[in-house]
Structure 1
Amino acid sequence: MKESLDAAYRLAESQGWVASRTQLTALGVTRWMVRDRLAKGAWVRWGVHTVGLRRGDLSGLGRLWRAVWESGRVSALDGVSALVVAGLTGFDVPEVHVSVPHGRAPRQVDGVRRHVVALRRPGELLGGGLPRTTTAVAVIRGAQWASSDRQAALLLVMSAQQRLLPLARMQDTLDTWRPHRRRALIRTVLNDVIDGAQALGELDVGALCRRHGLPAPHRQVVRRGPSGRIYLDLGWPDIGLFVEIDGIHHVFGDSVVVDALRQNSVVLSGGSVLRIPLLGLRLQESAFMGQVVTAYWMRSRRAA
């Protein structure tokens, strides 16, 4: 008995201090032993299949194991929850997301969001440890299941920034899986992330400005700075207004430092610089371009 309990405690410690009844039985802990410890308050019942081997609230890891066990044998962590296990940080996840294949009725579990998927494809699940989908699949599904386009785009960008997997693999998975929900948005954001410079080059700035009642701006405006020439994405030099559109590459390496020096140099010489993330144009074009319109007319009146 002691050996069985010692093994159960070692296993539970590695799983956030929870174990499934199936695991306990396999280790030689009988249901009578489980019932006795639950009755005495030494252990805690966290569902039909999940037992906590110490008192207190569930840990984050314990919540994940419980979500899988209580949702059914064929369930697996998916979407943003699988990404958290893969290393994603800084993304608020109030519920645990799990997926089950079509034809299996998922159980209702508090704190768990269940998603029925058409089928489990070969290689979709990782072997060993917490049952979960591969990171590439989790990124695409997490973007599909996000509560808004903004949250979906944020998840894609954060996964890229934190280098959870090669960007090309995200693209390959998107091409293979062909999701129905948000397919166009996911592809656009991934293209922006993978090749921000190309996306910026293909952006029709003239049409963008015309839609918002602005005259066509100059592209790649050249200014003189203390260290030589400064190139700005677009602007109206006659009124001293310039706009920088930042692709995802602007958050990597020393790009932030270079951008700040360039912007400060223009401002110190009397100009105005507005910064717009490329992602912002994809998601909130009207809001960002509204700021450009306001700045344009303010600078125009000042220059008159």
Structure 2
Amino acid sequence: MAGAQGGLITRAQLAEAGMTRWSVAHRIASERWQLLSPTVVATTTGELGEEQRVWHAVLHAGAGAMAGALTAASLSGLQNWHRDELTVLVPYERGRPSALSGVRYVRSRRSLCSVGSPPRCRIEPAVLLFAAADRSERTAQGVLAAVVQQQLTSSQSLLDWLDRLAPLRRAATLRRAIEDIEGGAQSLAEMDVRRMCRSFGLAIPIRQVKRRDADGRVRYTDCEWRLRDGRTLVLEVDGGFHMEAEHWEDDLARQRALAATDRIIVRCTARELRDEPEKVARDLVALGVPAAA
């Protein structure tokens, strides 16, 4: 049983298996096992790994508990959204477990089935409940874009779960974000471009266009518009990591290799799209981006 739970086991499970509290105490005192909390024992020694931390948090909470929010999403394969604090969903009727360092327990009245090992919420309700509860709407929209971009679920599955979880805080905002993702926006920056175009009456660009650069390598541009004079305007959106020297030089070389006599390449930052979309839109109009049909 402990082997199936990352080397962890509860005192109740040990008692059911026929072990007396004295035999358990002896193994702990002899440092073959370690007591993690009043209810959970580790049959291994040393610092817990990430999966063992989740098992500890779930077993400590008792029956029906499961990893939720970004903890569940990370266990399901979501990359680049790690949080040190674990989130565990607990059936509301069980009450709130005693506190564990680095763990946030959330009582829930929703009927959700756990999957996998350690027990976790499905990725769709996990990210939707996180998106509804987080203080930042941009973070909420970003994680929805990430799970679709990383092919962990689909826009349609998110929309189906959005209906199943009703009522849900900021559901209308989440629905619009998912519909943008379904329309082809694969990142938060692309969603910002689409939102800017709608707000200022610009044509929606073609996204993630496959191009070959001067060296023959395949590249994908962020956004492209076909101008009235036959040329193509390319907008590349730089996130924060593009500001690092190494990435900055790579981006300059990439822009040079993609440049052509019939292709104009301009850049903006994700911050500009978020905070100053009217300036970006004004510059695009000046460069010939057509109005929406």
* TM-score strictly above 0.5: yes
Which amino acid letter does the alignment assign opposite residue 224 of structure 2? Answer: L
In the alignment of these two chains, the number of paired residues is: 254
Note if contact 2:113-2:121 (Cα within 8 Å) is conserved in structure 1: yes
Percent pairwise identity: 25
Aligned residue number for residue 80 of structure 2: 90
What pairs with 1:95-244 in structure 2 (closer than 5 Å)?
Answer: 95-107=85-97, 108-117=99-108, 119-121=109-111, 124-126=112-114, 129-196=117-184, 205=197, 207-208=199-200, 232-233=224-225, 242=233, 244=235
- Distance in 2 (CA, whole Å) between partners of 1:266 and 1:50 is 58
Alpha-carbon distance in 2 for matches of 1:291, 1:110: 45
- Secondary structure in 2 matching 1:116: strand
Letter of the structure 2 residue corresponding to residue 274 of structure 1: V
Letter in 2 for 1:60: E
Please give the root-mean-square deviation of Cα atoms over the aligned residues, in Å: 4.2
Residue 232 of structure 1 and its aligned partner are, at CA, apart by 3.5
For residues 21 and 289 of structure 1, what CA distance do their matches in structure 2 show?
61
Cα distance in 1 for residues equivalent to 2:24 and 2:198 = 70
Q: Which amino acid aligns with 1:233?
A: W
Rate the CA distance shift 1:52–1:203 in 2: closer, same or farther, 3 A. closer
Aligned match for 1:274, one of 266, 282, 290:
266
- Residue in structure 1 matching 2:46, options 53, 56, 62: 56
The one-letter code of the counterpart of 2:43 is L
Q: Is the 8 A contact 1:243 1:276 kept in 2?
A: no
Aligned to 1:250: none
8 Å Cα contact 2:132/2:169 also seen in 1: yes
Q: CA deviation at 1:142?
A: 2.4
What is the aligned partner in structure 1 of residue 274 from structure 2? 285
Residue type matched to 1:28 in 2?
A: G
- CA contact 2:51–2:118 (8 Å) conserved in 1: no
Post-superposition shift, 1:16?
2.5
CA contact (8 A) 1:44 1:51 kept: yes
Larger radius of gyration: 1
Check whether the contact 2:125–2:161 (CA below 8 A) recurs between aligned residues: yes
User: Displacement of 1:59 after TM fit?
Assistant: 1.0
Contact 1:136–1:170 (Cα < 8 Å) also in 2: yes
User: Per-residue CA shift, 1:142-172, capped at 9, x if unaligned?
Assistant: 2223352232222212211222234322110
Secondary structure of 2:114's counterpart equals coil
Asked whether the equivalents of residues 132 and 170 of structure 2 are also in contact (C-alpha less than 8 Å), the reply is yes
Which residue in 2 is equivalent to 1:33? 23
Amino acid at match of 2:19: V
Structure 2: 5+ residue stretches without partners: 207-211, 214-222, 238-251, 289-293
C-alpha distance in 1, partners of 2:204/2:4?
60
The 1:28/1:287 distance shift into structure 2, 3 A limit, reads farther
Q: 1:131 to 1:91 in 2, by over 3 A?
A: same
Q: Distance in 2 between matches of 1:63 and 1:52?
A: 11
Shift of 1:275: 5.5
Q: Scaled by the length of structure 1, what TM-score is found?
A: 0.66
1:90, 1:286 → 2: CA distance? 24
Aligned residue type for 1:269? T
